[in-house]
Amino acid sequence: MNRRVALQALLLLLVAGVFVAAFLNARANLEARNMPTSFAFLWQTAGFGMNQSVIPYTPLDSYGRALLAGALNTLIVSVVASALATLVGFAVGFSRLSSHWGLSRLAALYVETLRNIPLLLHLLFWYIVLLTPLPAPEHSLSLGGVLLNNRGLYFPFPGLGWPLFDPARNAFNVEGGLRLAPEAAAMILGLTFYTASYIAEILRAGVQAVPRGQIEAASALGLSAAQTRRLVVLPQALRVALPPLISQYLALTKNSSLAAFIGFADLMQVSGTILNQTGAALQTLGVDMALYLGLSMLTLALMRRFERGSEWGAR
């Protein structure tokens, strides 16, 4: 017993020692490099622009607001891509399970190929695929008020008006309307098709975990194939698939941090700029970590509650 206490005390002492040494070094280094040590920079003027933001943001706003805009960009792209990835993933997963040989081989090919290619390559690919064939703003493709060019997709939107290219007002870009920039579109497409390959496998594993007897029993009861799938297989498969599915959504959110490579202003990209401009490395990365960790913990806690509360969890 005494040995255990001594061991733990030693360990804690060691960890504390490392922390103190790191703290002292950091203090000396920060001072030597003239780096800020407080969070005061969050209220200073950011001074850099951001091309897409859901909240009003101009270079005159503060670093704190820039971080918030970046975090919201991360959140929106992640939610949209998660929803689309689930759709595509389920389609591929069911194709993989199809009794049709060709369809199931094709789905297998999709899964094996796409998930063995790094996500970064997916994003770079979608970015040039979106940019290369699209016309310049002055030759925008137009359909029912919706404009499409290599600067984005513009929708009419209440309050923002109709998108319009008017050389007299702006010789370079379409003005007005709600805009989806190519960076955001490439992020969503890349994340969707990459994550879908994982979700397809999760769905397949879930369906295969449903005992054969269940399906046989359903068909003995006279349920059609479609009814069996909807009423018997899917509910049980989802119960198995839910935890890995949630961790895929979290992985997708973390993966959206690759945005900086294709010029999308997500949390990490904005942080990188702030870090470069202010030198507040500790504080900026601290905020990032708090946000990412907070999001995963919140999701996991919700999931645990949901599992405990719902009949899905009781197995």
Partner 1 sequence: MSDFLRAEFLSPLPPPPARGKSWREKLFGDARATAITLGLLVAAGLLLPPAVRYLFIDAVWTAPDGALCRAPGAGACWAYVAAKLPFFIYGAYPQPWRVNTAFLLALVLIVWLLRPRAKYKNYALGGFFIGLPVVGFILLHGAPALGLPVVGTNLWGGALVSLIMALAGMTAALPGGVALALGRRSKLPALRWLCVGTIEFVRGAPLIAVLFMANVLLPLFLPPDWAPDRLLRPLFGIALFASAYMAEVVRGGLAAVPLGQSEAAAALGFSRWQGLRLIVLPQALGAVVPGIVNNFVALFKDTTLVAIVGLFDFLHAIETARLDPAWAGPQIALTGYIFAAAFYLGFCLAMSSYARALEGRLAEARR
Partner 2 sequence: MVLVVKKIVLALGLALFLAGVGARADTLDQVRARGALVCGVNIGLAGFGLPDDRGSWRGFDIDYCRAVAAAIFGDAQKVRFTPLSGKDRFTALQSGEIDILSRNTTWTQSREAGQGLLFVGINYFDGQAFLARKARNLKSVRDLKGASICVQQGTTTELNLADYFRKTGISAETVVFTGGDEALKAYESGRCDAYTTDGSALYAQRLKLSAPDDHEVLAETLSKEPFGPVVRQGDDRWFNLVKWTHFALLDAEELGVTSANVESLRESQNPEIRRLLGADNDFGAGLGLSKDWVARIVKAVGNYGEIFSRNLGEGSPLKIPRGLNAQWRDGGLHYAPPVR
Rounded to the nearest whole angstrom, what is the least distance from the CB of residue 84 to partner 2 in the complex?
23
Give 54's DSSP letter: S
Q: Is residue 314 a contact partner of residue 236, using CB atoms and an 8 Å limit?
A: no
Contacts of 230-236 with C-beta under 8 Å, sequence gap 24+, read 233/207, 234/207, 235/312, 236/206, 236/209, 236/210
- In the complex with partner 1, the residue whose CB is nearer, 53 or 95, is 95
Rounded to the nearest whole angstrom, what is the least distance from the CB of residue 87 to partner 1 in the complex?
19
Q: Is residue 96 a contact partner of residue 204, using CB atoms and an 8 Å limit?
A: yes
- Does 260 help bind partner 1 (rule: CB under 8 A)? yes
CA dihedral 150, 156, 159, 163 (to 10 degrees): 50
- Does 272 help bind partner 2 (rule: CB under 8 A)? yes
Q: Is residue 172 a contact partner of residue 137, using CB atoms and an 8 Å limit?
A: yes
Q: How much helix, strand and coil, in percent to the nearest 5, is found in the chain?
A: 70, 5, 25
- Does 168 help bind partner 2 (rule: CB under 8 A)? no
Please choose, out of 96-104, 170-178, 218-226, 244-252, the segment that lies near partner 2 by the rule CB under 8 A.
170-178
Rounded to the nearest whole angstrom, what is the least distance from the CB of residue 129 to partner 2 in the complex?
11
- Does 60 help bind partner 2 (rule: CB under 8 A)? yes
Residue 119 touches which of partner 2, partner 1, none (Cβ within 5-8 Å per kind): partner 1
- Does 104 help bind partner 2 (rule: CB under 8 A)? no
Residue span 88-127 as binding mask against partner 1, x where in contact by CB under 8 A, dash where not: ----------xxxxxx--x-----xx--xxxxxx--xx--
Instruction: Quote the tokens at residue 117.
Output: 């290619």
- In the complex with partner 1, the residue whose CB is nearer, 106 or 180, is 106
Rounded to the nearest whole angstrom, what is the least distance from the CB of residue 25 to partner 1 in the complex?
5
d(CA 208, CA 220): 19
Neighbours of 89 (CB within 10 A): 26
> Nearest 5°: phi and psi at 248?
-65, -40
- Does 297 help bind partner 1 (rule: CB under 8 A)? yes
- Does 133 help bind partner 1 (rule: CB under 8 A)? no
The single residue among 12, 28, 31, 59 that binds partner 2, judged by CB under 8 A, is 59
The tally of CA atoms less than 13 A away on the side-chain side of residue 272 is 13
- Does 307 help bind partner 2 (rule: CB under 8 A)? no
d(CA 241, CA 235): 10
Residue 60 touches which of partner 2, partner 1, none (Cβ within 5-8 Å per kind): partner 2
- Does 54 help bind partner 2 (rule: CB under 8 A)? no
- Does 243 help bind partner 1 (rule: CB under 8 A)? no
Pairing of strands 152-155, 141-143: unpaired
Residue 120 touches which of partner 1, partner 2, none (Cβ within 5-8 Å per kind): partner 1
Q: Is residue 176 a contact partner of residue 164, using CB atoms and an 8 Å limit?
A: yes
List the Cα angle 98/79/299 in 5-degree steps. 95
Residues that bind partner 2 (CB under 8 A): 47-51, 59-60, 127-128, 131-132, 134, 136, 150-151, 169-173, 175, 182-183, 260-263, 265, 269, 272-273, 276-277
Residues that bind partner 1 (CB under 8 A): 4, 7-8, 11-12, 15, 21-22, 25-26, 28-30, 32, 98-103, 106, 112-113, 116-121, 124-125, 128, 132, 221-223, 254-255, 257-258, 260-261, 268, 271-272, 275, 281-282, 285, 288-289, 292-293, 296-297
